[in-house]
Chain A
């Protein structure tokens, strides 16, 4: 593949080679120290901060012409952020893209982990707005750095405890703090806590990029990722009373969709590829699916359309 086939005024995958080397060195350190935030010289990207500049820089540094890229935003391949980042790499890296989780070698994500189990060799790149889990508890970087160095995470447990004393349960539902390999407390980015168990012992490599805050961190494959909790208030994930109105899934993360101004609503999978492949009947073998659910889906579907 020659560079002339890509947007000719830029280097392959937009970033210059020296920037890529700098990010590559940071990524290797991040993998070697799971959960530790490695500072890097984040570049300005042709998109505003908050739109995934960190994730884009990590993806641009990692991908090559033989990769297949999938980009999701809140689980969906069709939202503005996902579409524009996918087009960005089609244009600058001349790369194949896909919406199928299992066909992708690199998946860039904003705020979700795909429902389908990730496999060895895949790389999941997270867009991270605020990488420091302790930032809202301690605004000074010098202090949070010291707290990580000393493994002083009492403050985070106090925060979770205050949740319990105020609400009766841990009310944190996204960006739920995790401890990586028993050492660093890490912000899993604003993914729902529903996705936290998927990070634990995951076969894929997970890379996190925060562009504005200029931090990179990582979870190597098969690494212990533990959501913080208390013995008498164990970590729990969200659950719903309803199944997905489109595919009947009982075990995926559901979005609430308002249908009209009379209080009607439906719940659908946030992972658009997972939902679509279930509707097509080509869902992944790793996912259990029963005929009863399929017929249930028909009835819910027709009710929803009434």
Chain B
């Protein structure tokens, strides 16, 4: 792990008036089980069992995923669209994570679905010997009823499943398709709408 200095100072622990999980132990467990379920059933849209108050640029599901998985051992990168002091303070206060401006040195990355793939071109994808040293990308969307759908197959999928997050920058479809080609390296994506999550691990084959 590289420790980098950046403008989002790690010394600042952050202040927020927004509460985190009501019960940090059990809420984190059910959120993790939801993510595990989503990751082992790519394309399946699963209701987020807990609603937490979150800054406006980070929806409730995306916030709860980060509250469940991030801590002082992890570094989070926020995209230009999601980066603001409210989100930074919220994450630092509740998780103790550090934030970075360098997208190539992060464990978690947060993107808004409207943003293009240029922002995430440098996320770490792991190495051939250590493909787990890659970033997990959380993409905030509004819902999963988009016109455009991708058909998924592969591990975790009985026959096929559909992925239809919205709104989604049209260039991200191509990025997701490319991402599969790096396997076993690559980025695992968690789509988060305010009420549901849906995962696209690097192992899924995708037909658009």
Residues of A bordering B, CB below 8 Å: 1, 3, 11-12, 17-18, 20-22, 24-34, 36, 38-39, 61-65, 145-146, 148-150, 181, 183-184, 205, 218-224
Contacts and interface: CB of A to CB of B under 8 A. Distances in A.
A39 B28 CA distance: 22
A222 to B, nearest CB: 5
A167 to B, nearest CB: 34
Interface of B: 24-26, 28-30, 32-33, 35-36, 39-41, 68-74, 107, 127-132, 134, 136, 154-158, 183-184, 188, 201-203
B188 A28 contact: yes
A34 B131 contact: no
A183 B184 contact: yes
Q: By DSSP majority rule, is chain B's interface helix, strand, loop, or mixed?
A: loop
Contact of B155 (A25, A34, A146, A149): A34
A221 B40 contact: yes
Contacts of B39: 28, 31-32, 220
B23 to A, nearest CB: 9
Contacts of B158: 221-222
By Cβ-Cβ distance, the 4 closest A-B pairs, closest first, are: A32-B201, A220-B156, A149-B128, A223-B155
Nearest to A63: B29
A21 B29 CA distance: 9
Contact of A28 (B71, B74, B130, B136): B136
A225 to B, nearest CB: 10
Given A29-B132, A145-B129, A149-B129, A1 B24 contact: no
Given A21-B68, A22-B73, A205 B132 contact: no
A64 B29 contact: yes
Contact of B131 (A17, A18, A36): A36
Contacts of B40: 31, 205, 218, 220-221
A3 B32 contact: no
Q: Which of B35, B128, B155, B202 has the most CB of A within 10 A?
A: B155
Contacts of B201: 31-32
Q: Which of A12, A29, A61, A218 has the most CB of B within 10 A?
A: A29
Contacts of A63: 29
A38 B71 contact: no
Contacts of B70: 21
A184 B203 CA distance: 12
Given A18-B73, A21-B28, A222-B157, A181 B132 contact: no
Q: Which of B41, B128, B184 has the most CB of A within 10 A?
A: B184
Q: Which of B24, B36, B70, B131 has the most CB of A within 10 A?
A: B36
A33 B132 contact: yes
A64 B26 contact: yes
A290 B132 CA distance: 49
Contacts of A28: 35-36, 39, 69, 136, 188
B184 A221 contact: no
B33 A64 contact: yes
A64 B30 contact: yes
A12 B25 contact: yes
B154 A181 contact: yes
Contact of A222 (B32, B68, B155): B155
Given A3-B25, A62-B36, A222-B157, A32 B202 contact: yes
Given A36-B131, A149-B128, A20 B26 contact: no
B28 A17 contact: yes
Contacts of A146: 129
Contacts of A149: 127-129
Nearest to B96: A18
B48 to A, nearest CB: 15
Contacts of B41: 220-221
A1 B26 contact: yes
Contacts of B188: 28-29, 32
B69 A21 contact: yes
Given A12-B25, A21-B71, A65-B26, A34 B132 contact: no
Nearest to B35: A28
